[in-house]
Amino acid sequence: MKIKPRERNALIQSLRAGVVPRTGQHLIQVGRDQEVRALLADIDRVADGGSTVRFVIGDYGSGKTFFLNLVRGIAAQRKLVTLHADLNPGRRLQSTGGQARGLYTELMRNTGTQTKADGALAAVVERFVTQAIEEARRTQTGTGRVIKARLNELEQLVGGYDFALVIEKYWRGHDTDDDALKTNAVRWLRGEYSTKSEARADLGVRTIVDDSSFYDQLKLLARFVRLAGYQGLLVCLDEMVNLYKIAHKSAREANYEQILRIVNDSLQGNVEGLGFVFGGTPDFLTNSRRGLYSYAALASRLAENRFATNGLVDYSGPVLRLDQLRPEDFHVLLENVRAVYASGDPQRHLVPDEAIGAFMQHCNRQIGDAYFRTPRSTIKAFCDLLALLEQHPDRDWREVLGHTVVPVEQNPDLAPLDDDDDLVRF
Distance separating the N- and C-terminal Cα atoms of the chain: 25
* pLDDT attached to residue 372: 57
Q: What is the DSSP letter of 29?
A: -
Lowest mean pLDDT among 7-11, 122-126, 232-236, 385-389: 7-11
Instruction: Please state, in angstroms and rounded to a whole number, the distance separating the CA atoms of residues 308 and 89.
Output: 35
* pLDDT attached to residue 30: 78
> Residue type at 224?
F
Which run of H or E residues covers position 189?
Answer: helix 179-189
Selected residue with higher pLDDT from 115 and 310: 115
Whether 119 has a pLDDT exceeding 80, the answer reads yes
* pLDDT attached to residue 175: 93
Whether 235 has a pLDDT exceeding 80, the answer reads yes
The residue among 114, 228, 116 whose CA lies nearest residue 167 is 228
* pLDDT attached to residue 361: 84
> Residue type at 215?
Y
Q: What is the DSSP letter of 325?
A: P
The residue among 168, 160, 161 whose CA lies nearest residue 142 is 168
pLDDT in tens, 262-295: 999 999 989 999 999 999 999 999 999 999 999 9
- Cα-based distances in Å from 409 to 121, 302, 362, 385, 424: 47, 37, 16, 20, 20
Instruction: Please state, in angstroms and rounded to a whole number, the distance separating the CA atoms of residues 126 and 137.
Output: 17
pLDDT band of 421, cuts 50, 70, 90: very low
* pLDDT attached to residue 374: 63
34-59: burial string, b at 16+ Cβ within 10 Å, e else: ebbebbeebbebbbeebbbbbbbbbb
Helix ranges restricted to H, 282-374? 282-286, 296-301, 327-341, 353-367, 370-373
The residue among 6, 1, 74 whose CA lies nearest residue 37 is 74
* pLDDT attached to residue 414: 37
pLDDT band of 260, cuts 50, 70, 90: very high
Instruction: Please state, in angstroms and rounded to a whole number, the distance separating the CA atoms of residues 160 and 252.
Output: 29
Fold (topology level) of 32-117+231-321: Rossmann fold (3.40.50)
pLDDT band of 403, cuts 50, 70, 90: very low
- Please report, for the chain, the start and end positions of each structural domain, with discontinuous segments joined by +: 32-117+231-321, 122-209, 327-414
Instruction: Please state, in angstroms and rounded to a whole number, the distance separating the CA atoms of residues 243 and 284.
Output: 8
Answer for the pair 206, 196: CB distance below 8 angstroms, yes or no.
yes
Selected residue with higher pLDDT from 22 and 314: 314
Contacts of 83 (CB under 8 A, 6+ apart): 107, 108, 110, 111, 112, 218, 233, 234, 235, 236
Pairing mode, strands 274-280 and 233-238? parallel
* pLDDT attached to residue 212: 94
> Residue type at 365?
R
Residue % of the chain over a pLDDT of 90: 62
Instruction: Please state, in angstroms and rounded to a whole number, the distance separating the CA atoms of residues 36 and 69.
Output: 12
**264, 111, 183, 174 alpha-carbon torsion, rounded to 10°:** -90
Q: Is the dihedral of CA 144, 150, 153, 159 positive or negative?
A: negative
pLDDT in tens, 154-205: 988 999 999 999 999 999 999 999 999 999 999 999 999 999 999 999 999 9
Taking residue 288's Cβ as centre, other Cβ atoms within 10 Å add up to: 9
Instruction: Please state, in angstroms and rounded to a whole number, the distance separating the CA atoms of residues 52 and 43.
Output: 8
Answer for the pair 273, 223: CB distance below 8 angstroms, yes or no.
yes
pLDDT band of 371, cuts 50, 70, 90: low
Instruction: Please state, in angstroms and rounded to a whole number, the distance separating the CA atoms of residues 424 and 401.
Output: 26
SS3 of residue 42 by DSSP: helix
Whether 379 has a pLDDT exceeding 90, the answer reads no
